[in-house]
Amino acid sequence: MPRIQQISIITLDPERLARFYEEVFEMKRVDNKGAEAIYLTDGHLNLTLVPNRAEGKPSGLNHIGFTVEDEDAIAGRMEAWGLARPKGKGGKRPTSKNRGTDPDGNNFNLSDTGYEMTVAE
């Protein structure tokens, strides 16, 4: 069964938001390997805080990341809903190669390898 393993939020102040989730929900930082986004985890789910650089774009949910066993099966189910198959989104994040949208246009990423959760030292 596919499972949500990552949620990504766009924010004007990733550091401030990270401190909030660390202090209020006791989340831990994940090694980010030099990325500008801040990664947090509760040990089960990753929360990615992405700097908002798009003028006029509101901060908020960017996408949900699903770990799946079979991306083709997911794509087939989406087509049955009349939606486009998830496609490569490019970039340098090897864990989530393909992106799709739900019927309301909300983005999601698919990963067949999972989302790394190594807590930073």
The structural domains of the chain, ordered by start, are 3-111 (3.10.180.10)
pLDDT tens by residue, the chain, 121 residues: 888 888 999 999 999 999 989 998 899 999 877 788 999 999 888 999 999 988 778 888 888 888 888 888 988 999 999 999 998 865 555 566 788 988 878 888 888 776 665 555 5
Q: Output the pTM of the full model.
A: 0.73
| Short-list 116, 117, 110, CA closest to 43 | 117
Cβ contact 35:48 at 8 Å: no
